[in-house]
Structure 1
Amino acid sequence: MNIELAEYDAGWPGLYERERARVLGALPGAVLEHVGSTSVPGLCAKPLVDLMLVVDAPLREASYVPALEAAGYRVVVREDDWHEHRILKGPDTDINLHVFPRGCAQVRRHLLFRDWLRDNAWDRELYAAAKRELAARVWDRVQDYTDAKNAVVLDILERAYVARPVEPGEVEFVTEAPPHNAPVVLQEHDPVWARWYAVEEAKIRAALGERVVRLEHVGSTSVPGLAAKPLIDILLVVPDSADEGAYVPALVAAGYYLLLRERAWHEHRVLKGVAPNVNLHVFSPGCEELDRMLAFRDRLRAFPQDREEYERTKRELAGRTWERVQDYADAKTRVVERIILRALG
């Protein structure tokens, strides 16, 4: 199979606007973006317009597919296990309408890649050169060509994520310890950590009951074989993390205390447990950080080479002295982002 690339066509944005009007006619108020190579002026591309539609739950097709079908679209791809991703084809123009859930990390990934290429000529030319070289080969499937581009895409995205990080915003400490020199002591993975998590999980579920939307063991202690500080990180999803009255008093009664709030960063809350040492991270549903944390954990569990890369970084950084433990965590950002990007594919 040959891949046919076309020089950038100034008519592509017009094709997107026509599809946008059609989609919004079927789904008023929908979140829709032009993504992919045809969305980047000056970039060569297959003459296929990629659109990204964000809905609450792609698996609930009844909430959006019938309306799109009435407008002439049809579902051609369903990937339930990969971000609930759907692809629809349009009635006339050659397009891919990609559907992702609200809060999916793929949404920011697509937009960041697009915007970075629009603003950075060097990486735009690097990507174009890779596309041209790969398009000159013969492929069994278009997906094989897409997969072959992954190395240069990850290279570009890593630069974009580091240059344009999500700023967490102001941290409001409820219980604050003064900054101090904080040696970071890593331990070899201990199977007892999974048992500690199981005890905490039972405690949290007993305290909150049906208010628990999701509960997961995350962080390094959740990855067998990975050295870590003996700190159990727990991800708790509640209906509304900003509504502290709905969950904080019950968790305090269960032995936790509220450490901090990050109102501007996903309304994130952290509660602490002291025996064992626990960080309980609280978010609302549909938050990108949930997707990222779980993708990172699952990638480290499944790919030994990524686990080893992360552990090497942790050990090197743990050998230094830090003013705050958070500074150690921040120093790991680049390798964490790199692994998350691989996980998101």
Structure 2
Amino acid sequence: MNIELADYDAAWPGLYQRERDRVLSVLPGAELEHVGSTSVPGLCAKPVIDLLLVVDDPDDEAAYVPALESAGYWVQVREDDWHLHRILKGPDTNVNLHVFGRGCAQVRRHLLFRDWLRANVEDRELYARTKRELAAREWERVQDYARAKSAVVLEILARAYVGSPLPSDVEYVTPSQVGNVRITLEDHNPDWPAWYAKQEARIRGALGSKVLRLEHVGSTSVPGLAAKPLIDIVLVVPDSADEDAYVPALVEAGYYLRLREPGWYAHRLLKDHGPEVNLHVYSPACEDVERMLVFRDLLRADADARAEYEAVKRELAARTWGRGQDYADAKTRVVERLILRGLESAEVRTCAGTPRG
């Protein structure tokens, strides 16, 4: 199979706009973006217009598919086991209309990659050069070509995530240790899951039905991985910014509010007065929740990723830090790369023969 790449065509934005108008005519107010290589001026691409549609629940097809069908679209792919991803084809233009749910990490991933390539000439040229080199080969399937691109995609995305962080104004509610902070790592303790189970019971007992999701994350949730003896927990509540709805009950249960990050998904962090616990609180449809779970699940399943992460942690833990957060920040590059590896591994798998841009 040959991969046919075309030089950038100034007509592509107009084709996107035509499809956008068509979608908005049946789904007024829809959240829709032009993504993929045809959305990047100056970049060669397969002549396929990739659109990204964000809906509340991709599985609720009755909320959007009939309307799109009335405009001539039809569902080609359903991936219920991967972000509930859907792909629809258009009535005339060669289109891939990708549907993801609100808060899905794939949404920001696509937009960040697009915006980074638009703004960074060197990475745009690197990506174009890689695509042309790979397109010159024979491929059994389009997915094999996409998989071959994954290394450079991950390289570029890692730079994009580190270079384009979300805004985060940290408000410390209680003081933190500053100066001469040492990081203590321990070999994996088989009792850590039991520690989490006790915390889970306390949180559910305090909040009841206000708990929408509760997960053990972080290094103590990964068998075989060295970690600080600290239990990281993700708690999803109806509105993390509405502290009155959950903080008093958690304080009564023995936790205290450590910090607020209004610009980082309205994140709240609570800690325990007893065992070391980081209780991260988010609202539903939050990308950061999925990214934490992708990271955890990759480390659980991939021994090489686990070894790579542990080696970095041990090297950094040998240093002395001004703040504990400085140690966490120093891990950002490897953490982002591994999260992206978890996301990318699903992105390039077989998808009913559908071409990817």
After TM superposition, the score normalised by the length of structure 2 is 0.94
What letter is aligned with 1:104? C
- What whole-Å deviation, never above 9, does each CA across 1:249-280 have from its counterpart, x for those lacking one? 11111111111111222111111113221110
- What whole-Å deviation, never above 9, does each CA across 1:8-32 have from its counterpart, x for those lacking one? 1110110000000001111111111
**Is 1:193 aligned to 2:192, yes or no?**
yes
Which runs of structure 2 are paired with 1:17-96 in the superposition (5 Å)?
A: 17-96=17-96
Q: Is the 8 A contact 2:6 2:44 kept in 1?
A: yes
**How far apart, in 2, do the equivalents of 1:123 and 1:244 lie?**
42
Instruction: Name the structure 2 match of 1:219.
Output: 218
Instruction: Name the structure 2 match of 1:284.
Output: 283
- What whole-Å deviation, never above 9, does each CA across 1:269-307 have from its counterpart, x for those lacking one? 111113221110000001111111111111111111111
Which runs of structure 2 are paired with 1:220-239 in the superposition (5 Å)?
A: 220-239=219-238
Please report how far the alpha carbon of residue 167 of structure 1 lies from its aligned counterpart in structure 2 after TM superposition.
2.9
Please report how far the alpha carbon of residue 344 of structure 1 lies from its aligned counterpart in structure 2 after TM superposition.
0.9
**How far apart, in 1, do the equivalents of 2:229 and 2:32 lie?**
43
- What whole-Å deviation, never above 9, does each CA across 1:85-127 have from its counterpart, x for those lacking one? 1100011110000011111111111111111111122211111
What letter is aligned with 2:131? K
SS in 2 for 1:242: coil
**How far apart, in 2, do the equivalents of 1:207 and 1:144 lie?**
50
**How far apart, in 2, do the equivalents of 1:249 and 1:62 lie?**
40
Q: CA-atom RMSD, angstroms?
A: 1.0
**How far apart, in 2, do the equivalents of 1:67 and 1:60 lie?**
13
Q: Is the 8 A contact 2:177 2:323 kept in 1?
A: no
SS in 1 for 2:8: coil
**How far apart, in 2, do the equivalents of 1:255 and 1:209 lie?**
16
Which runs of structure 2 are paired with 1:188-337 in the superposition (5 Å)?
A: 188-337=187-336
Instruction: Name the structure 1 match of 2:166.
Output: 166
SS in 1 for 2:81: coil
What letter is aligned with 2:175? E
Instruction: Name the structure 2 match of 1:3.
Output: 3
Structure possessing the higher relative contact order (Cα contacts under 8 Å, 6 or more residues apart): 2
Q: Moved runs in structure 1, 4+ residues, more than 3 A?
A: none
What letter is aligned with 1:62? A
Please report how far the alpha carbon of residue 191 of structure 1 lies from its aligned counterpart in structure 2 after TM superposition.
0.8
SS in 1 for 2:4: coil
**How far apart, in 2, do the equivalents of 1:120 and 1:173 lie?**
35
- What whole-Å deviation, never above 9, does each CA across 1:117-142 have from its counterpart, x for those lacking one? 11122211111111111111222211
Instruction: Name the structure 2 match of 1:113.
Output: 113
SS in 1 for 2:162: helix
**How far apart, in 2, do the equivalents of 1:326 and 1:44 lie?**
41
- What whole-Å deviation, never above 9, does each CA across 1:309-345 have from its counterpart, x for those lacking one? 1100000000000111111000000000100110111
SS in 2 for 1:149: helix
Q: Is the 8 A contact 2:220 2:231 kept in 1?
A: yes
Q: Is the 8 A contact 2:166 2:263 kept in 1?
A: no
- What whole-Å deviation, never above 9, does each CA across 1:187-224 have from its counterpart, x for those lacking one? 00001000000111111111111111000000110011
Q: Is the 8 A contact 2:218 2:296 kept in 1?
A: yes
What letter is aligned with 1:233? D
- % same residue: 72
**How far apart, in 2, do the equivalents of 1:178 and 1:306 lie?**
31
After TM superposition, the score normalised by the length of structure 1 is 0.98
SS in 1 for 2:98: strand
Q: Is the 8 A contact 2:217 2:232 kept in 1?
A: yes
**How far apart, in 2, do the equivalents of 1:38 and 1:171 lie?**
38
**How far apart, in 2, do the equivalents of 1:209 and 1:201 lie?**
11
**How far apart, in 2, do the equivalents of 1:141 and 1:177 lie?**
54
Q: Is the 8 A contact 2:171 2:261 kept in 1?
A: yes
SS in 1 for 2:229: coil
Please report how far the alpha carbon of residue 178 of structure 1 lies from its aligned counterpart in structure 2 after TM superposition.
4.4
Structure 2: runs of 5 or more not aligned: 345-357
**How far apart, in 1, do the equivalents of 2:171 and 2:294 lie?**
27
Judging changes above 3 Å, is the alpha-carbon distance between structure 1 residues 42 and 177 closer, same or farther for their aligned structure 2 residues? closer
Greater Cα offset, 232-241 or 176-185: 176-185
**How far apart, in 1, do the equivalents of 2:163 and 2:250 lie?**
38
What letter is aligned with 2:328? A
